[in-house]
Chains A and B, each alone.
Chain A
Amino acid sequence: MTVLLELEQCRLSYPGQGRGEPEQLALNIDHLRIRAGERVAVLGKSGSGKSTLLRHLRRQLPQRASWCPQDPSLVPQLKVFHNIFSGALARHSALVNLRNLLLPAPRFREEIAALAAPLGIDDLLWRKSAELSGGQQQRTAIARALYQRRDVLLADEPVSALDRVQGRAILQLLLNAHHSSVIALHNAPLALELCDRIIGLKGGQLLFDCPASDADADAIQRLYQ
């Protein structure tokens, strides 16, 4: 399989809190290789460096990866339709984009309605995103990620605000829509079920990195201690 990207001696740190304070190491990975076609789940408790790793991967893959951030980051004043459409800004000229802001084109309406239906937000498309519940906002952000239509998915806790059944279905949908995925998750059983490779992060370091079938319960338990 071709290599999608490779990290070597990756050390990322936060600036210190005040002047003279030491920098804090957020990520300290000696080597990490991600191959095309893999479905990678990143596990670890909060503050372990999952988001830092994903943001770093995103910087390494400019204009190549669909991005689904932890916080939905929607524009509250825009309709759900336009928030989803903003995933596709790169595909069209500025003129098309601006026209669609004022007069939504039938072609985009159809595309986005089709995309929104399996996510259960097709009846919300013409509401302002500020009016949505947390789970609805998260599904809008997922639709925006899907509408970027790229091969690679980088997603940070994409289903954290959804219930177990819905979360599983939508995660499956996300994985099927992308050739390769790297997804931070807090739900370990879901990761083991749907992904084929598990990366465990603790304190910014790789605790383990193995195929999902080899991951043992003890190792995962240690991540959260």
Chain B
Amino acid sequence: MTAATGFLSQSRSLRKLTFYFALIALGCMAFADIGISTRSPAHELALMGQGLLTPRVNDWGQWLEAVTYTVTFSLQGVSLATALGFVFAAYYHRAGVRFVAAALRSVHEVFWALIFIQVFGISTLAGVLAIVLPFSGTMAKVFGEQLEEVDSRPARAVEQPRGGRLSHFFYTRLPLALHAMGNYTAYRMECAIRTSVVLGFIGLPTIGFHLETALRSGDYSAASAMLFTLLALLYSLRFWFRAKLLWLLVPLSFLVRPLSAEWSGDNLQQFLRDCIPAPLREDWGLEKTQRWLLWLGEQVGNGLGNTILLAQIVLVLTGLLALLASTLNSRHFVAGWHRRMGDGLLLVLRSLPEYLLNFIFLIVLGPSMLPAILAMTLHNGAIIGHLLGRHSDELAPAVMESGPLCRFTYFYIPTLYQRFLAYCFYRWEIIIRETAMLGILGIPTLGFYIDSAFEFLRFDVALLLIAVSAILTLSADALSRHLRQRFLASDLNLQKRATGQHEGEVWTTQPR
């Protein structure tokens, strides 16, 4: 073997790891359905650009209503999820609690919403629950890890009183993690606003609802007004999402839009009955059951295959984009207002939910896997790129002076590569989860089959498929953890405290 390909024979080579991931992605590309089916994508894009420059709110009353719903959903969802996640985190050392948290977060918010809409109708309760459940699972994990990472000396210095675990926890462990937990909660609020916008696309009365209507009818001026509203909401968080104001805002949100639901016992009973797999419920014969199982197996096979296919392509493209885009936010390449512009672009891309990006690309490019690939690559690439660039600021300048290209290849990539891979692996689980969900927009990943099952009121099939997607997410998480432990230096785990990087989550909050 020559020196150039020697890495293939090394056991823990990062190059080999990258090579195999790229190879898999290339293989997936061969099977992926990628194409442009609209007649004049450039024309549609020009119309959108025009709309972007001429934002217009058609009905201010409606706008206020949508903004109120978006904010109250997020506030109620995050406050309840924080409380629940906190209780989970306090008992995170118990395997049962860890399992419940993992199961809750492995099901996408949109899938939770589809379930709760069936039970509670299009209602505030359905929307808030769809945020609370998965968010509490994620927050339990991050809070739990933050509490595990605190300096344990104070806890050891004070003897734990008999039966006084709670006091001990509040005096010697919680204060040490509280600041980090607060920062993470602020980041989750950002996510919650994005989520409540996405929930609008499936019918809840948030900004997303009007965004969808406007995009579908080609009213791009109205759409861009909603888009700017979303960006303004996310940007303004740093001014009003503060501990002192929340004492007022959270109760206010429950007063302005009280939790309500349209549900009846009969309805719930019917729903629960429909959740029992059809062969058991209807007491089918062997042959009919076999046909049903075959039919279900085909959906699982197709859904799983396409989800993995798409996710692997997106993972590698995300990595590529992140490496390149991170230079826009790195002092090794840009400075002054160039950098502020570059980072601003990354922050805007990061703020746009994948679902929305996918929806827009779908209009421009027509149905295929391409819109989803672009949407997820842009969103995730911007997230990792922003973090990676900011992290590179901590590195001393390259010793050897050279042009930007040489600096990028000889200094920047080698020194940051471990961290870069860590970020990508952390994001992998999330990419899989999103890929499965984006099927709702038409690509045949798991979400597509889940959505059609809901459409035909086959709740048993929908729940089974949701369980499959949850298992897939959990496996990606386990595999990613295995690869990280095998290939990446263990000190990356110690550093995550400083950069706010946590398993399954790559997050950052703005300095306040």
Contacts and interface: CB of A to CB of B under 8 A. Distances in A.
Interface of A: 62-63, 67, 69, 71-78, 82, 85-87, 89-90, 92, 94, 97-98, 101, 141, 144, 148
A194 to B, nearest CB: 24
A67 B175 contact: no
B167 A89 contact: yes
Interface in B187-238: none
Given A90-B164, A94-B166, A94-B167, A78 B175 contact: yes
B172 to A, nearest CB: 6
B153 interface: yes
Q: Which 4 A-B pairs have the closest CB atoms?
A: A90-B161, A73-B157, A97-B167, A73-B153
Nearest to B177: A77
Give the most central of A75, A77, A78, A101: most B CB within 10 Å.
A75
A144 to B, nearest CB: 7
A75 B162 contact: no
Contact of A98 (B158, B162, B167, B178): B167
Contact of B171 (A75, A141, A148): A75
A87 B171 CA distance: 10
Given A63-B159, A89-B171, A76 B164 contact: no
Interface of B: 153-154, 156-159, 161-162, 164, 166-168, 170-172, 175-176, 178-179
A69 B153 contact: yes
B157 A89 contact: no
A154 to B, nearest CB: 11
A89 B154 contact: no
A207 to B, nearest CB: 29
B162 A74 contact: no
Contacts of B156: 69, 73
Contact of B178 (A63, A77, A89, A144): A77
28 contacts: A62-B159, A63-B161, A67-B159, A69-B153, A71-B153, A72-B157, A73-B153, A73-B156, A74-B154, A75-B171, A75-B172, A75-B176, A77-B178, A78-B175, A82-B171, A85-B171, A86-B171, A87-B158, A89-B158, A90-B159, A94-B164, A94-B166, A94-B167, A97-B166, A97-B170, A97-B171, A141-B157, A148-B159
Contacts of B168: 89
Contacts of B172: 75, 86
Contact of B175 (A71, A75, A85, A89): A75
Contacts of A85: 171
A82 B175 CA distance: 11
A102 B216 CA distance: 52
A98 B175 contact: no
A50 to B, nearest CB: 17
A126 to B, nearest CB: 15
Contacts of A69: 153, 156-157
B497 to A, nearest CB: 14
A63 B166 contact: no
Nearest to A72: B157
Contacts of A72: 157
A97 B166 CA distance: 9
A76 B154 CA distance: 9
A90 B337 CA distance: 57
B151 to A, nearest CB: 8
Contacts of B176: 75-77
A16 to B, nearest CB: 20
Nearest to B171: A86
B171 to A, nearest CB: 4
Contact of B157 (A62, A67, A94, A101): A67
B164 A89 contact: yes
B264 to A, nearest CB: 41
A151 to B, nearest CB: 14
Nearest to B155: A73
Given A67-B157, A75-B175, 12 more contacts: A74-B157, A75-B154, A75-B172, A75-B176, A76-B176, A86-B158, A86-B171, A86-B172, A89-B158, A89-B161, A94-B167, A144-B158
A141 B178 CA distance: 22
Contacts of A141: 157
B182 to A, nearest CB: 11
Nearest to A58: B159
Nearest to B175: A77
A63 B154 contact: no
Nearest to A89: B167
B162 A63 contact: yes
Contacts of A90: 159, 161-162, 164
Nearest to A141: B157
Contacts of A82: 171
Nearest to B157: A73
A94 to B, nearest CB: 4
A193 B168 CA distance: 37
Contacts of A89: 158, 161, 164, 167-168, 171
Contacts of B154: 73-75, 86
Nearest to B156: A73
A148 B154 CA distance: 15
A14 B164 CA distance: 30
A40 to B, nearest CB: 20
B181 to A, nearest CB: 12
A217 to B, nearest CB: 35
Nearest to B178: A77
Nearest to B153: A73
A77 B154 CA distance: 11
A129 B355 CA distance: 47
Nearest to A71: B153
B84 to A, nearest CB: 19
Contacts of B167: 89, 92, 94, 97-98
A97 B168 CA distance: 9
A177 to B, nearest CB: 17
A144 B166 CA distance: 19
A46 B156 CA distance: 21
Contacts of B170: 97-98, 101
Contacts of A101: 170-171
